[in-house]
Chain A
């Protein structure tokens, strides 16, 4: 039942206005205090009712027994007076009865402990003078005694009856007016007969004014106590919740600061209770985190130092070897053929070794997190031009490929590290040349408000499905049996990807077997901005739509080269 009540309480917020709703959702204190108050009110109401009923029953019971005893004594005294009077004369009956009633009333003194009513039994004929006799003390109307009671007494002469009634005051003969003020009372009655004058009924009416007053008093005191108790309970609930919520809030604050990098942040530990335990566990966790991060940092520093040392230690002897090899290579014409060829081989392979070493060091610098972005505002067009200038001659001589560039006329300024981006683009272009089977390589540069993108498209062997994701893996080769012409190291694209990521940019590949491949580099124009979309689609424009040889038409961009498109 309490569960259902709580569930209903939880649904209550739907009906609350918005601000209150938010406070309800966010404040545990509010919820706990409200729940405590609602439960306490229910319990106190039940308890109050129980107490009130007990008090009332007690009061009424003692009143009833006292009244019965009083009435019994009264009846006995009335009976003895009647017997003493013997058989009165018919005319004196009224006088006698009045005397008896007055005497009985006088026994109560001036207090209004009881009033008396004497009426003829309903069996007495109302037309005889005795039938009209009605005596009442204290202004009580005889009609206050219910007719049912009178009838019951008349049916069983000599018996006594009692019940609760409400009495009204006024003349002796009229019935009670419906709107007359009434008082609760206990009435005890009996019927007796006066010899020769018929039967009469005598009623003791005990007003319960004092008891009603006591009950009112008890009720008001109880309500006061309940109110005070409610305030107390509410305050206790608020206090307890606060003392629990406060450390939780402080834990949340410290956790936020920890997450923001303040690894030395700790909670205050006080006492030995559960909350202190929370604080100490929390601090233990923070210390463990700090220790682990510190260890990782140390490791990273060690790695960086190692890379740096290897770099220096390897490069100095390599420089000497390199210079010696160059001197030998320059003089190779003076040597016998085997020695001359050896000098050539050594020279070439040293170059490859050097490139491999440089890339290994570069990638380990990325792995150690030591790579730093040196961003400066640069026009991407100049970077592209520089790359093209650098490889154009080699492309024509070694691969028989031309490099075509399509770039916007407006500036393409972006905050980039030109050395890194130039390296990325050179890698992409060399990669395109190597796999382009002597066909042209197409570079497209595009820019929008937030990003700048360069795509490098070749029309060579392309990529099989699934390979687009693999090309950036270290030392990955599409076809391990295929000889490398340019002697690439297998790390170029991995480094390019790392460089792109360092800029917060994307480097993606698209390819289809025999349709060539396209690599797209997208960089945010402002350093640190987050990319949402690229100005160039990943799938090349000349491969969109149905996989059919493209037909020259207006929907093809003017830069479309039909010859190349047929190749694709």
Chain B
């Protein structure tokens, strides 16, 4: 079965070009031209992934991203014309899992889409424990004292990657490779923002993290410092 991709972009030519490329790569693309109808299209067509342009007429991409994230953990990849940190971080903080800066190569876009759609396939123990969190890997759930914590699949993957080898320090590059699935993508802001997001959900005090700890100058690790 073909995986369905919802393309939310107001530029007709770009949307058509994206459709051509995605279709030739074996996806089933659906196009939505503005922000207002994006959420309806999302609910109706239940895509496996959303490609979302950040600048949209009507409701802008950030709001659409938040709205979708509020009701689903579906992978969201942002398309943005701005590579300024402020814009990128704002997009990631509103819930996007990844972003592609225009202009991009078709292969790059497809690789990112594939990476987001591919699930973790490595054999891992079914249950992990880190600090006071119980992680059910197979069931994709995280609980603290029996109370489930809602994480997006990407946040879940990030937590599992760290929790699988507690005490080991992961550089941002390694995390990019293991969680996002690409090499040579030097943008560590992606990791930083997602670690912040993860912390805001699982830490008792996100300002003083105890589960996902920063190792100055190197990266992150799971477990008390």
List A residues at the B interface (Cβ < 8 Å): 308, 311-312, 315-324, 326-327, 354, 365, 370, 372, 374, 377-379, 382, 386, 389-390, 411, 413, 418-419, 422
Knowing A320-B11, A327-B20, A390-B184, the reply to whether A315 touches B217 (Cβ < 8 A) is no
A378 (CB) vs chain B CBs: closest residue? B217
Kindly list chain A residues whose C-beta atoms are within 8 Å of the C-beta of B86.
Answer: 372
Contact B217 A379 (CB under 8 A): yes
Contact A379 B55 (CB under 8 A): no
Contact B218 A422 (CB under 8 A): no
Bound: A320/B102 CA distance, A: 9
Knowing A326-B107, A419-B186, A422-B186, the reply to whether A316 touches B102 (Cβ < 8 A) is yes
Contact A320 B104 (CB under 8 A): no
Contact B14 A319 (CB under 8 A): yes
Contact B81 A315 (CB under 8 A): yes
Digit string of B1-28 for contact with A (CB within 8 Å is 1, else 0)? 0000000000101100110110010000
| Secondary structure class of chain A's binding surface, majority of residues | helix
List B residues at the A interface (Cβ < 8 Å): 11, 13-14, 17-18, 20-21, 24, 55, 81-82, 84-86, 102-107, 171, 173, 184, 186-189, 216-218
The 5 A-B residue pairs with the shortest CB-CB distance, nearest first, are: A312-B81, A315-B102, A319-B103, A315-B81, A413-B217
Knowing A379-B217, A411-B217, the reply to whether A327 touches B81 (Cβ < 8 A) is no
Contact B55 A312 (CB under 8 A): yes
- Provide 28 A-B residue pairs closer than 8 Å at the C-beta atoms, listed in order of the A residue: A308-B84, A311-B82, A315-B102, A316-B11, A317-B14, A318-B103, A319-B17, A323-B14, A323-B20, A323-B106, A326-B106, A326-B107, A327-B24, A327-B106, A354-B103, A370-B84, A372-B84, A372-B85, A372-B86, A374-B189, A379-B218, A386-B173, A389-B184, A413-B216, A413-B217, A419-B187, A419-B188, A422-B186
Contact A323 B218 (CB under 8 A): no
Bound: A422/B171 CA distance, A: 16
Kindly list chain A residues whose C-beta atoms are within 8 Å of the C-beta of B171.
Answer: 382
Give min CB distance, B223 to chain A, whole Å: 20
B55 (CB) vs chain A CBs: closest residue? A312
Contact A377 B103 (CB under 8 A): no
Contact B85 A320 (CB under 8 A): no
Kindly list chain A residues whose C-beta atoms are within 8 Å of the C-beta of B106.
Answer: 323, 326-327
Kindly list chain A residues whose C-beta atoms are within 8 Å of the C-beta of B217.
Answer: 377-379, 411, 413
A371 (CB) vs chain B CBs: closest residue? B84
Bound: A72/B185 CA distance, A: 132
Contact A320 B17 (CB under 8 A): yes
Bound: A213/B164 CA distance, A: 115
Contact B103 A315 (CB under 8 A): yes
Knowing A326-B105, A390-B184, the reply to whether A312 touches B82 (Cβ < 8 A) is yes
Kindly list chain A residues whose C-beta atoms are within 8 Å of the C-beta of B107.
Answer: 326
B13 (CB) vs chain A CBs: closest residue? A320
Give min CB distance, A321 to chain B, whole Å: 8
B54 (CB) vs chain A CBs: closest residue? A312
Kindly list chain A residues whose C-beta atoms are within 8 Å of the C-beta of B84.
Answer: 308, 365, 370, 372
Bound: A413/B82 CA distance, A: 30
Bound: A377/B218 CA distance, A: 8
B218 (CB) vs chain A CBs: closest residue? A379
**Which of A316, A327, A374 is B21 in contact with, Cβ under 8 Å?**
A327
Contacts A316-B81, A322-B104 aside, 6 further interface pairs with beta carbons under 8 A come to A311-B81, A316-B11, A319-B102, A323-B18, A372-B85, A418-B188
Kindly list chain B residues whose C-beta atoms are within 8 Å of the C-beta of A326.
Answer: 105-107
Bound: A181/B59 CA distance, A: 118
B79 (CB) vs chain A CBs: closest residue? A319
Bound: A411/B217 CA distance, A: 9
Kindly list chain B residues whose C-beta atoms are within 8 Å of the C-beta of A319.
Answer: 14, 17, 102-104
B188 (CB) vs chain A CBs: closest residue? A418
B85 (CB) vs chain A CBs: closest residue? A374
Kindly list chain A residues whose C-beta atoms are within 8 Å of the C-beta of B85.
Answer: 372, 374
Kindly list chain A residues whose C-beta atoms are within 8 Å of the C-beta of B11.
Answer: 316-317, 320
Contact B103 A322 (CB under 8 A): yes
Bound: A54/B187 CA distance, A: 100
Kindly list chain B residues whose C-beta atoms are within 8 Å of the C-beta of A318.
Answer: 102-103
**Which of B17, B55, B82, B187 is A323 in contact with, Cβ under 8 Å?**
B17
Kindly list chain A residues whose C-beta atoms are within 8 Å of the C-beta of B189.
Answer: 374, 419
A382 (CB) vs chain B CBs: closest residue? B171
Kindly list chain A residues whose C-beta atoms are within 8 Å of the C-beta of B187.
Answer: 419
Kindly list chain A residues whose C-beta atoms are within 8 Å of the C-beta of B218.
Answer: 379
A390 (CB) vs chain B CBs: closest residue? B184
Contact B14 A316 (CB under 8 A): yes
**Residue among A372, A374, A411 with most chain B CB within 10 A:** A374
B53 (CB) vs chain A CBs: closest residue? A316
Give min CB distance, A387 to chain B, whole Å: 10
Kindly list chain B residues whose C-beta atoms are within 8 Å of the C-beta of A316.
Answer: 11, 14, 81, 102
Bound: A370/B86 CA distance, A: 11
